[in-house]
Chains A and B, each alone.
Chain A
Amino acid sequence: MSNQYRQPDGGLIDRSQLIEFRFNGKSYQGYRGDSLAAALLANGVCLTARSFKYHRPRGIIGAGYEEPASLVELVGDEESGNQPITRVMIRPGLSARSVNCWPSPQFDLMAVNQLFARLLPAAFYYKTFKWPHWKLYEPSIRRAAGLATAPARCLHRGHYETRHAHCDVLIAGAGPAGLLAALHAGRSGARVILADDGVEPGGSLLNQRVTVDNKSARAWIDAVVAELDALPGFTRLAEASVWAYREDNLLMINQRTPREDSIFQRGWRVRAKRVVIACGALERNLVFANNDRPGVMLASAVQAYLNRFAVRPGRRAVVFTNNSGAYAVAADLRANGIDVAAMVDSRARIDAALRDGLAGTPLFANHVIETTHGRGRVNGVTLRDNASGEKRRLDCDLVVVSGGWNPNLHLFSQARGRLEWNAEIASYSAAEAIQQCLCIGAAASHFTLSQVFADALARAQELLTALEIDAPQAGNPPQCDAEVDYAIEPLWHVAGDQRLAAKSFIDVQNDVTLADVQLAIREGFGTVEHVKRYTTAGMGIDQGKTGNLNVVGAIAGATGATPAEIGTTTFRSPYVPIEFGVLTGIREESVYLPYRHTPLTAWHKASGACIYEAGARWRRPGYYPQAGESFQQTVNRESLAVREGVGVYDGAPLGKFEIKGRDAARFLDTLYTNRFANLQRGRGRYGIMLSDDGMILDDGVSFKLADHHYLMSTSTGNADRINQHMEFFLQTHRPDWQVRITTVTTQWANATLCGPRARELAQLLAPGADLSNEALPFMAMLETEVAGIPARICRVSFTGELSFEINVWSRHFASLWERIMAAGETFGIMPIGSEANHVLRVEKGFLSLGHEVDGTADPYDLGLGWIMSDKPDYLGKRAVQIRRAGGEPRRELVGLLIEDPQRLVEESAPITPQGRREASEGFVSACVWSVVQQRSIALALLLDGRQRIGETVYIRMQDEVIRAEVTRPCFHDPDGKRLRG
């Protein structure tokens, strides 16, 4: 019979919608509004899980995210990782199964672990599994651990989204405190965001049989929510977990089911002026032998099942408590036709009002439950009299436990608020906040409804005053039923012998018992952090929400320290587990790693270019293969075109900066190692920049455009970094200098014609300009028109050939390129990529930042001593001097001719003395096939290199040793006649 434990009426479920679902392969029915846990309980399913280590039978303990015992994974289209059984809402087609047990919780093969339980106390794995080595055991351990199977696919109905919001007040929790505070703040016109984890708002009010302002709690909630939703400036988020409290009042919220179909889950980043923590309180478990048997439930959970889901979790109950809160639950049990066989209260003195309310239920004051009985489900308990030690057995199929309330301070603690021990409630309370937040209601340690309402209203009023928002008079808080004040006497665990302690679970999810905690302390792991790590208590998915304080209590019991002295472990985000997908929203692929294109990318691709990812995320052609060519053939062809005819390359990504101001020259002189102040108009100079601690930062050519006006170019990959370097230096260290920097990297693009026929072609394109060597010598610049487009022509060369770098505005670049290619056709012009450029610069021995600059070489080492001027100071000068002061041998730039001229070696291959397998004396920085030498050539940094020209050195690539002859680092036109021509 289906739903045989369902009450005929009542509850907040929608009985008009019957839903079929599957659990561990069997079909069941429930109603819309049921959690999977509620629906299963309604169908009398009690054994829903097996524990992690011992594979003990487990049932449902809680009603919300605090659930420690039963985890499920969804199968089919909704495939998911671990979910607490209490947080899955049933819907048509739902199919779930218990994790980590096979074939089912009812009959789990791994239950055999229980036989070895005594060999498996906490941290047993440190003491054994050592011989012969851990790897022998690890695979089985790994397969037995790990709960759910990771979802293999990412199938879901839509995508993840991120939203940002600002507000005056963010209220976390729409229970009675949160709702009332929201109402008051909302009515004042403040911008309020109210986020609640539940499917519907109301928090604890949904679970209790109470009246508010003489109507049902549900009616009160509905009225408040209706008013709130109509307020401008008010946003309500349901099924939304506030999971992290970050810096400066940034809160992270995960909205699990936004109403839009295409959005699967939505993440919110909210910056709030004030945060109100109305997260309520969490009930803790009691620790006694076999407290994990199916049928043992938290009192607050039982209330939820009775009142919210109209489910009877059992027929005959025993209630076990150390505080006054459980008495209302006993009344609810009776009201729902459940026989309450006993109220077991560990306290000796019980409030008269509570006694009176028991209405015939036998009260066992100053008693405890020593253990539960039953197989697969509770069928009885053994009580023990604290005074006499006398025991008695009672039959029951439901044990309702209440260990007391913990104000839910996770978010407050994440915000680095201080917690202090509050003996009155035997738990921690919120003390001073560091960030702009406050706790209200049960989170602020108020445990009766009237206190909660009063506190919420008062604090909301204070908050609005602090924000200088005019608020209407607060009025009176809502009327509540009569309540007994909360009273508790801590019972951290039921005392008993070792045998009982070994079955008394403190962390149900991780199978950590009282005996484990005591063992930890015995072995010297006495602090709360040590106990946690040794036993793994609190490290499960539930983060030990129902048990952590009992760990503190157990430590107190064993060491004599007080809970105040012991403290808690650090609260860490997320408050509840959050899917990785929602953390990123739609930041995927190119949105996450944005890349930069030149205006010619389409042309390059259409020409068959192989596009590389260059520095600073520029997409740049590496080479342009033609049909039937190997990579080497392509690179050779392109290189040869430059050496013998004319090539052209897209230099748009180069960093470019206009530098203006009275102190511009002085600035360049400080940045570069060589002099720029004496540069003439229309002329450029190659310079190297060092960091102030003497490392090579960048190189490039800077031109003087006019007095106090320069155009600097940097390498592609370092443009952003140099921009930062320059702005930092000026604005931080020389704010009195007048220098203005404008980034023009993407405003200007350039095509460089290079090769012996470059002038011919350039002259053809710019007939009105005099491009002769007399009019436009090497390192000079001219402003003119090229192909009818306004342009700057610069004679710079990175290839060692005659070069004309034609700079135009980016929007003209594509046209320019087309004209170049058209005019260049008769010249046999070829586009060249970075691979050919690399070959050409290696042949010349020109510096490449990614190769020769490896964090050890300075310009002297690279043979660029001429660039280190005798200016009294520039960035890095002093550091280089200090570094070189000892006169020790340095690694210097040399060329290498591999003994076998056909052989290429790997870049970065080390060079070792005599080829021995020991620390290197240098490395190969580049090695290419030279088109001018028709053999392999290499550049290297070698210890004392310049003294060793002609020597044989030994390159090691793994175990292979290759000989090479040291030579000067230039293999083509050493006097530079071609580029100066």
Chain B
Amino acid sequence: MLNINCPFCGARNESEFIHGGALKPRRSETPQELDDDAWIDYLTVPPNPIGPLEERWWHVRGCGKWFTLCRDTLTHQILQPGDDQA
């Protein structure tokens, strides 16, 4: 159970959060202009490194903020609190 630093609430147990997957680029406003392969890739291929991974977390049992963390997928160390995209 990770000890996660919510940008608003400070350090809280992982059970207050929901994990939202690896961080992806901003979802295009105009996917109709992308070709099929590019769109399929965006939808289905996530980053999957052994090492640091930027990912989204939601403080669902707290302030409701979605934010980005960088976590090492091998050691689970949280590498830097991460700046929110907002």
Contacts and interface: CB of A to CB of B under 8 A. Distances in A.
Direct contact of A and B (CB under 8 A): yes
Nearest to B64: A727
B1 A250 contact: yes
A872 B40 contact: no
Given A249-B3, A692-B27, A732 B66 contact: yes
Contacts of A873: 29-32
Contact of A434 (B1, B26, B75, B86): B75
A706 interface: no
A247 B2 contact: yes
Contact of A878 (B3, B20, B32, B85): B32
Nearest to A729: B27
Contacts of B14: 247
A564 interface: no
A248 interface: yes
B58 A724 contact: yes
Counting contact residues on chain B (CB < 8 A from A), the size range is 20 to 34
A610 interface: no
Interface string A804-819: 0000000000000000
A733 B75 contact: no
B39 A882 contact: yes
Interface in B31-69: 31-32, 34, 36, 39-40, 43-44, 56, 58, 60, 64-66
Interface in A43-101: none
Interface string A218-253: 000000000000000000000000000011111000
B26 to A, nearest CB: 5
A693 B44 CA distance: 8
B27 A247 contact: no
A731 B43 contact: no
B33 to A, nearest CB: 9
A246 B75 CA distance: 11
Nearest to B74: A416
B73 interface: no
A731 B86 contact: yes
Contacts of A877: 31-32
B26 A733 contact: yes
B2 A248 contact: yes
Nearest to B68: A732
Nearest to A728: B20
A735 interface: yes
B76 A247 contact: yes
A879 interface: yes
A271 interface: yes
B77 A434 contact: yes
A920 to B, nearest CB: 26
A922 B20 CA distance: 34
A692 B77 contact: no
A248 B1 CA distance: 7
A879 B36 CA distance: 9
Contacts of A731: 65-66, 86
A878 B32 CA distance: 7
A879 B3 CA distance: 37
Given A247-B2, A872-B32, A728 B56 contact: yes
A803 B51 CA distance: 56
Given A248-B1, A727-B66, A872-B32, A882 B40 contact: yes
A728 B39 contact: no
B66 A728 contact: yes
B18 interface: yes
Contacts of A416: 75
Interface string B17-29: 0101001001101
Contact of A732 (B20, B29, B40, B60): B20
Nearest to A872: B32
B43 A733 contact: no
Contacts of A693: 43-44
A205 B81 CA distance: 44
Contacts of A735: 84-86
Contact of A248 (B3, B36, B64): B3
Contacts of A246: 1
A68 B22 CA distance: 46
Interface string A725-756: 00111011111000000000000000000000
Interface of B: 1-3, 13-14, 18, 20, 23, 26-27, 29-32, 34, 36, 39-40, 43-44, 56, 58, 60, 64-66, 75-78, 84-86
Interface of A: 246-250, 269, 271, 416, 434, 692-693, 724, 727-729, 731-735, 872-873, 877-879, 882, 885
25 contacts: A247-B76, A248-B1, A248-B3, A269-B1, A271-B13, A416-B75, A434-B75, A434-B77, A692-B43, A693-B43, A724-B18, A724-B58, A728-B20, A728-B66, A735-B84, A735-B85, A735-B86, A872-B32, A873-B29, A873-B31, A877-B31, A878-B34, A878-B39, A882-B39, A885-B36
Given A724-B58, A732-B56, A878-B34, 13 more contacts: A247-B14, A249-B3, A728-B20, A731-B66, A732-B20, A732-B23, A733-B26, A873-B30, A878-B31, A878-B32, A878-B39, A882-B39, A882-B40
